[in-house]
Chain A
């Protein structure tokens, strides 16, 4: 793969802001909302980020739209499409992030690989760091798929957040953890992003099993949509990620979005 540049080794981090965000919330699980950049309109994104911060988000995932989002269900696909139609890019997203003057919790940039490659890895990292991002999650760059590229992405100041799934075997999980920083994003069930009526019955066992062996905080996402589900997951995990349900609410209007965000935040703190 033609990705020019050196092969930096991950720098020892004095302290990850993402880890700190988990540690600060020792009694509770962390509330981790996902926001699709540029949806419904590009100008809304900074205000929505500030709104999530005010509602008590501990970490925010900021999704960069991609034309072919393989891991996403219909809600985030539609939001991405809408954003792309309005000209949203990696650069415009990072520019907006950089301009936010108010205090935000750590922001994890959530992207597919191609827009990052197209921009150039080093340029992307420099811009993301300058914009104040704390972490990076690349949906289609599984651990070990391109060691040099992974080293370079992990070599800057951003935590490179790994994913694990219910299909991930034990040996592979150990490989993944060997490369992880920030937190482990555990996919709650097989499938793409999007609301589901019920959580997987075996989720609690899976997460408890993970937390026995994983030293990093474990956040659970995919399919968590209601405050009740969020509270249930908060009872078993270190963090609760909610994406599609918030984006669907945002599609109905900012009031619905704010109500859900506040309710989810409270539910995560309350626990089940």
Chain B
């Protein structure tokens, strides 16, 4: 399947920076040369063994990779399935975000930039950026919504200790969306000296592809570790805000599924039409007659991929962050993807108990993976996520980030479907940062 098979021609599908009809570079003119420069620099670095050696060395000895693939026996027994956790919470700084920031900071050094800026929601990307900047000697400014600064006060302290300037954003909903807009405005102003490290697979091209390339180490390690344990996975679950940990763990499995010529059982009408119109099914390697209810795993060797969005207070309340599940296509922060918006094309503020998922857009590659049925997207509420957070604490002695708890909750909701099978969850971060907020919410709930 290629990006150019889209039935709704755009004139650009199949070109770099596009995922079917999604993606693009919808930014003020001032930034176009900087995006061109970044595209070239990344193409150049990708092809440079020296760059890879430096990056791999940093990932191994500084970040702490490979992270373990841990068999969670107690929680697995509780759910009635074989459960593995990809322990991104054990990365230095406590989340997968640092895979991206170390890579981009090394890239910024190649580009001779002196200053780095970032946006942050939960503060994990901000901390990971501040860390990489301390390591590689960059001036660093991090934009953070005032509401998030309240929710994630500890991470604000961490960034400042690491030498970064944390700039409060008081416009709009005072969360990640507004911090991202403000970071882009800074970049437009200081583009000559400054590199913008975006924290997820969002933003204008080349960012969605660049961040995916830097995060796919999660999935590449998972493939290797599963093979070492002779384990065949049936499903992978990951939380999706912007979607970087999900793309990171999914990418090698997407490639695996594509190589099988598998069709997504979650695919929408047009995705099926594309598949039948294409040649992928001609390979004959896909077992016919699989039941959709079985999650597609009865297609030989296919791994079902499930992205879990934040349903906040519930999809019907309008207070959620489920862009793929409940949004419509539109343009925000430089790309065309699914978006929470009203009938006039104004962006609706997102809500999630998890600051890191509290974003009304989503990476354009996810939009395409959804439309082509390669990944199934579900959503769980704040309450379900907090319950799953408590499960992991009590059954495994692991305090997960509230973001990652959404992936756990997504699995719990359909655990029956995976009974006796093997499931991997991307545990994208640890939850120390969330302890206070969870305690506050549990207190309020009277439990």
A interface with B by C-beta (< 8 Å): 1-2, 7, 66-71, 73-74, 77, 81, 84, 89-91, 112-119, 139-143, 145-148, 162-169, 172, 176, 187, 190-192
Q: Is the interface of B mostly helix, strand, loop or mixed?
A: mixed
Q: Does B28 contact A140, Cβ atoms closer than 8 Å?
A: yes
Q: Does A70 contact B185, Cβ atoms closer than 8 Å?
A: yes
* Complex Cα–Cα for A19 and B336 (A): 33
Q: Does A117 contact B184, Cβ atoms closer than 8 Å?
A: no
Known: A84-B346, A115-B345, A119-B345. A192 touches B185 (CB 8 A): yes
> How far in angstroms is the closest Cβ of chain A from B406?
24
B390 at the binding interface (Cβ < 8 Å): no
> How far in angstroms is the closest Cβ of chain A from B290?
30
> How far in angstroms is the closest Cβ of chain B from A114?
4
Q: Does A113 contact B189, Cβ atoms closer than 8 Å?
A: no
Q: Does A190 contact B191, Cβ atoms closer than 8 Å?
A: yes
9 A-B pairs whose Cβ atoms sit less than 8 Å apart in the complex = A1-B10, A67-B346, A77-B171, A113-B331, A114-B331, A114-B347, A145-B24, A167-B33, A172-B32
* Complex Cα–Cα for A63 and B332 (A): 18
* 6 A-B pairs closest in CB distance: A118-B345, A148-B11, A115-B345, A191-B189, A165-B30, A163-B29
When C-beta atoms are compared, the residue in chain A nearest to B27 turns out to be: A140
Count the B residues whose beta carbon is within 8 Å of the partner chain — how many?
Answer: 44
> How far in angstroms is the closest Cβ of chain A from B45?
22
> How far in angstroms is the closest Cβ of chain A from B141?
15
Number of A-B contacts (CB under 8 A): 135
B344 at the binding interface (Cβ < 8 Å): yes
* Complex Cα–Cα for A74 and B25 (A): 24
Q: Does B30 contact A190, Cβ atoms closer than 8 Å?
A: yes
* Complex Cα–Cα for A209 and B192 (A): 21
Q: Does A81 contact B341, Cβ atoms closer than 8 Å?
A: no
Contacts of A187 in B (CB 8 A): 29-30
Partner of B29, one of A67, A119, A142: A142
Q: Does B32 contact A168, Cβ atoms closer than 8 Å?
A: yes
Contacts of B34 in A (CB 8 A): 167
Contacts of B336 in A (CB 8 A): 1
Partner of B343, one of A118, A142, A169: A118
Q: Does B188 contact A146, Cβ atoms closer than 8 Å?
A: no
Partner of A114, one of B10, B28, B191, B330: B330
When C-beta atoms are compared, the residue in chain B nearest to A138 turns out to be: B26
Contacts of A77 in B (CB 8 A): 171
Contacts of A84 in B (CB 8 A): 346
Q: Does B189 contact A145, Cβ atoms closer than 8 Å?
A: no
* Complex Cα–Cα for A61 and B12 (A): 30
> How far in angstroms is the closest Cβ of chain B from A14?
28
Q: Does A116 contact B11, Cβ atoms closer than 8 Å?
A: no
* Complex Cα–Cα for A117 and B333 (A): 15
Contacts of A142 in B (CB 8 A): 25-29, 32
> How far in angstroms is the closest Cβ of chain A from B257?
25
* Complex Cα–Cα for A163 and B27 (A): 12
Partner of B33, one of A89, A119, A163, A172: A172
> How far in angstroms is the closest Cβ of chain B from A166?
8
Contacts of A91 in B (CB 8 A): 344
When C-beta atoms are compared, the residue in chain A nearest to B10 turns out to be: A1
> How far in angstroms is the closest Cβ of chain A from B361?
10
B181 at the binding interface (Cβ < 8 Å): yes
> How far in angstroms is the closest Cβ of chain A from B46?
23
Contacts of A70 in B (CB 8 A): 27-28, 181, 184-185, 188, 333-334
Q: Does B10 contact A148, Cβ atoms closer than 8 Å?
A: yes
Contacts of B345 in A (CB 8 A): 66, 90, 114-119
B275 at the binding interface (Cβ < 8 Å): no
* Complex Cα–Cα for A146 and B272 (A): 26
Q: Does B189 contact A192, Cβ atoms closer than 8 Å?
A: yes
Besides the known contacts A118-B341, A190-B191, 7 further A-B residue pairs in the complex with CB atoms under 8 A apart: A71-B185, A74-B171, A116-B345, A140-B27, A167-B30, A191-B188, A192-B188
* Complex Cα–Cα for A73 and B28 (A): 13
> How far in angstroms is the closest Cβ of chain B from A148?
4
Contacts of B181 in A (CB 8 A): 68-70
Q: Does B33 contact A169, Cβ atoms closer than 8 Å?
A: yes
Q: Does B185 contact A73, Cβ atoms closer than 8 Å?
A: yes
Partner of A1, one of B21, B190, B192: B21
Contacts of B333 in A (CB 8 A): 68, 70
Contacts of B346 in A (CB 8 A): 66-67, 84, 114-115
Most chain A Cβ neighbours within 10 Å, of B184, B189, B336: B336
* Complex Cα–Cα for A140 and B27 (A): 4
When C-beta atoms are compared, the residue in chain A nearest to B22 turns out to be: A1
Contacts of B191 in A (CB 8 A): 167, 190
Q: Does A71 contact B188, Cβ atoms closer than 8 Å?
A: yes
B105-143: contact bitstring with A at CB < 8 Å (1 yes, 0 no)?
000000000000000000000000000000000000000
B195 at the binding interface (Cβ < 8 Å): no
Q: Does B172 contact A67, Cβ atoms closer than 8 Å?
A: yes
* Complex Cα–Cα for A166 and B8 (A): 36
